[in-house]
Chains A and B, each alone.
Chain A
Amino acid sequence: MNALDYLQFVLAPQVVNGLALGVAVVLVALGLTIIFGMLDVINMSHGEFYAIGAYAALALGAAGINFWFLLVLVPVLMVPLGMAAERLLIRPVFDSRDRHVTTLLVTFGLALVVEDLLKVAFGPNTQRPLTPIPGATELAGIIVPNYRLFLIVVGAAIVSGVAYVVYRTRLGAMVRAAAFDRNMAASLGVPVALVYAGTFAFGVALAGLAGVLLAPIYSVFPTMGRDFILLAFTVVIVGGMGSIWGAVVAGLLLTQVQALASLVISPVWTDPIVFGTMVAFLVFRPQGLFGRLGHA
């Protein structure tokens, strides 16, 4: 293989494809890092909420609802689900002294239940909605499917929108205040309980939105929730928990490392590389790239 071929066929597409995968990972990690960073809750069932979003898109799409409408409808439908989960599962154990471990265990149990329920409801077989935007675009010999281009653009828009809400609006300030010091926020009139429930539901809705967006690329099956979970947790830790920009940078960097590493070593070893990065961060820079959101 000559050098030009290598650049055009291998290296350049690798970077572009890595970008699309990176956006997918960031979308899944976004809700996770918000719940983690603001509520200090480990949501092990985040992957299953992602799966619920994908199945909802599949079922509603089959019922004739337009994909573009689903992008709004599914996240909205996820909000009451997230509220209910927070009220029934998180709040009762929220004040236990080891919140991390307790919420991790409760949501781990929830993940088991949801995965099996999805199988009961939708059957064990893989399903897939049709790609809403078919076709591919060729730029200087690099082929990129149109839907992936769309995903990159929409992903960027979603991340910016979320960052705007969290960092620049009054609502976001309330949420960050509640995350930073709950008692102080409460005494300033922030409805802390509602903010917590709302934040959790927001994270769940984002997981659902990721499900809608990624279903056409990664297909839909009952155990799909496990797919991204280790990678998403890694992104949250490397980026700094609760940090939106941290998640973006970490998500894009890690997927690029994975994509490029798979060119030189056996792809099976890319997982240990990602994990090694997580360990290195935990050991040497536990606050992650950007530190905690509440303290930003």
Chain B
Amino acid sequence: MRDRLTLSMRASHLLALVFVAAALALAAIGAASGDTFYLRLGTEALIFAGLALSVDLLLGYSGALSLGQALYFGIGAYVSALTLLKVPSFWLAMAAAGGATLVASIFGGLIANRVRGVYFALITFGLAQVVAKVVYNTRELGASDGMIGIPVIDIGFGPVSVSAGNPVGFFLIVLAIIMGLYGLTAYLLDTPFGRVLTALKANEKRVPFLGYSVWRARMFSYVLAGLIAGLSGALYPMLRGFVSPELMFFATSGNAVISVILGGVGTLIGAIYGSVLLVLLKSIIGSWTEHHLIVIGLIFMVCVMFLPKGLVGFIRPRIEERLLTGAKEPAAPSFAPARLEAGSAKP
């Protein structure tokens, strides 16, 4: 039996397919023209899309705005960098980064999930600030300079191996990982347990009466989001060969929030589109003015106020309609877990 949530997820998946097709086309054009820069920029946009995805999982599904998600992105990046400096193994670095962010997000979740709403935003903001400050002052982690000299690794898949320095190869690997994370998240949200998360956003007070633990559901989504951010962050030093404390700063978290708002809250795929859109906006605006914050800030405000479901939220209902008429079902208003309005105004 298909319900509205399944329907809107299907629409998201369709957009995800379009995205992958477009990305593959870019890879083909890039490979044919011998381009390096745009492929690597696209790879970076995908890595930050992973961070945005984790912000959307929290904001769009359990209604929790994280202003410090870069914390886990940064932990993933640093642990991956430290591992690669010792052993240049892709799988080991990913495992270490995943493990570290898992532990860190459990700790963070125990603190942050004691509170709701705006207090959650302030706590996540503060947590990231404090850890970033500690990293900024720790000599063993390169302090304010960060760490350079992370080798260009070979990523082995059984008999085949791809160099992280190969623009097309690494782009495709990152694309596969980020879309894999997207798929995994979408799958988990579609399980009965994932439905509890969506219910949280709609009406948190009622969830316990249905026999579910609110805390456990929130904790689960927090840790999953931390893990997604950490695994995305682990890819960063492989691409750029260094890490710096700026990766944990508010600017990074803020960009992820902006990406999610631009792309569409609660759509998952919107976070990925939004991230690419933001990179594109920044490079276009950045080339004609250094005052890009004014333009991005204005676009952001307009999105929050007049387009609360973002780009994908604008497009998706049209796709849903098509899907519905295709299946000859009666037209129903689209289900929108994306709504910012959900949740209670007062803590």
Q: A100-B345, A109-B300 are in contact. Are A116 and B137 (CB under 8 A)?
A: no
Contact of A98 among B117, B129, B134, B257 (CB under 8 A): B117
Within 8 A of A (CB), among B288-342: 291, 293-294, 296-298, 300-301, 304-305, 308, 339-342
Would you call A185 an interface residue if the criterion is a C-beta within 8 Å of the partner chain's C-beta atoms?
no
Would you call A99 an interface residue if the criterion is a C-beta within 8 Å of the partner chain's C-beta atoms?
yes
Would you call A272 an interface residue if the criterion is a C-beta within 8 Å of the partner chain's C-beta atoms?
yes
Interface 1/0 per residue, B38-82 and A, CB below 8 Å: 000000000000000000000100010100000000000000000
**In the complex the two chains form, is A237's CB within 8 Å of B305's CB?**
no
**In the complex the two chains form, is B257's CB within 8 Å of A272's CB?**
no
In the complex, the chain A residue whose C-beta lies closest to that of B302 is A109
Interface 1/0 per residue, A184-226 and B, CB below 8 Å: 0000000000000000000000000000000000000000000
Interface 1/0 per residue, A76-115 and B, CB below 8 Å: 0000000000000100110011111110111011111101
**In the complex the two chains form, is B65's CB within 8 Å of A101's CB?**
yes
**In the complex the two chains form, is A109's CB within 8 Å of B294's CB?**
no
**In the complex the two chains form, is B347's CB within 8 Å of A116's CB?**
no
Q: A89-B301, A102-B304, A286-B115 are in contact. Are A230 and B293 (CB under 8 A)?
A: no
Cα(A268)–Cα(B59), bound, Å: 32
Residues of B within 8 A of A234 (CB): 126
Would you call B217 an interface residue if the criterion is a C-beta within 8 Å of the partner chain's C-beta atoms?
no
**In the complex the two chains form, is B305's CB within 8 Å of A101's CB?**
no
Contact of B63 among A98, A104, A283, A286 (CB under 8 A): A98
In the complex, the chain B residue whose C-beta lies closest to that of A99 is B345
Interface size counted on chain B using CB atoms at 8 A? 43
Residues of B within 8 A of A271 (CB): 129-130, 133
Would you call B14 an interface residue if the criterion is a C-beta within 8 Å of the partner chain's C-beta atoms?
no
Residues of A within 8 A of B339 (CB): 97
Residues of B within 8 A of A116 (CB): 291, 293-294, 297
**In the complex the two chains form, is B342's CB within 8 Å of A279's CB?**
no
Cα(A275)–Cα(B291), bound, Å: 32
**In the complex the two chains form, is B123's CB within 8 Å of A279's CB?**
yes
**In the complex the two chains form, is A104's CB within 8 Å of B129's CB?**
no
Q: What is the distance, in angstroms, from A52's C-beta to the closest C-beta of chain B? A: 15
Cα(A272)–Cα(B339), bound, Å: 34
Within 8 A of B (CB), among A239-296: 268, 271-272, 275, 278-279, 282-283, 286
Interface of B is mostly: helix
Q: A271-B129, A272-B130 are in contact. Are A112 and B300 (CB under 8 A)?
A: yes
Would you call A42 an interface residue if the criterion is a C-beta within 8 Å of the partner chain's C-beta atoms?
yes
Residues of B within 8 A of A275 (CB): 126-127, 129-130
Contact of B117 among A101, A119, A272, A283 (CB under 8 A): A101
Q: What is the distance, in angstroms, from A280's C-beta to the closest C-beta of chain B? A: 10
Contact of A89 among B294, B305, B308, B345 (CB under 8 A): B305
Would you call B206 an interface residue if the criterion is a C-beta within 8 Å of the partner chain's C-beta atoms?
no
Q: A101-B340, A282-B123 are in contact. Are A106 and B305 (CB under 8 A)?
A: yes
Residues of B within 8 A of A117 (CB): 294
Residues of B within 8 A of A111 (CB): 297
Would you call B242 an interface residue if the criterion is a C-beta within 8 Å of the partner chain's C-beta atoms?
no
Residues of A within 8 A of B340 (CB): 96, 98, 101-102
**In the complex the two chains form, is B294's CB within 8 Å of A97's CB?**
no
Residues of A within 8 A of B125 (CB): 230
**In the complex the two chains form, is A105's CB within 8 Å of B261's CB?**
yes
Would you call B172 an interface residue if the criterion is a C-beta within 8 Å of the partner chain's C-beta atoms?
no
**In the complex the two chains form, is B341's CB within 8 Å of A279's CB?**
no
Contact of B137 among A96, A102, A113, A268 (CB under 8 A): A268
Given A98-B117, A98-B341, A271-B133, 4 extra CB contacts under 8 A: A97-B344, A230-B129, A275-B129, A278-B126
Q: Which residues from chain A sit less than 8 Å from chain B, CB to CB? A: 40, 42, 89, 92-93, 96-102, 104-106, 108-113, 115-117, 119-120, 230, 233-234, 237, 268, 271-272, 275, 278-279, 282-283, 286
| 6 closest A-B pairs by CB | A112-B297, A97-B341, A109-B301, A113-B297, A100-B118, A116-B293
Q: Which residues from chain B sit less than 8 Å from chain A, CB to CB? A: 59, 63, 65, 111, 114-115, 117-119, 121-123, 125-127, 129-130, 133-134, 137, 254, 257, 261, 291, 293-294, 296-298, 300-301, 304-305, 308, 339-347
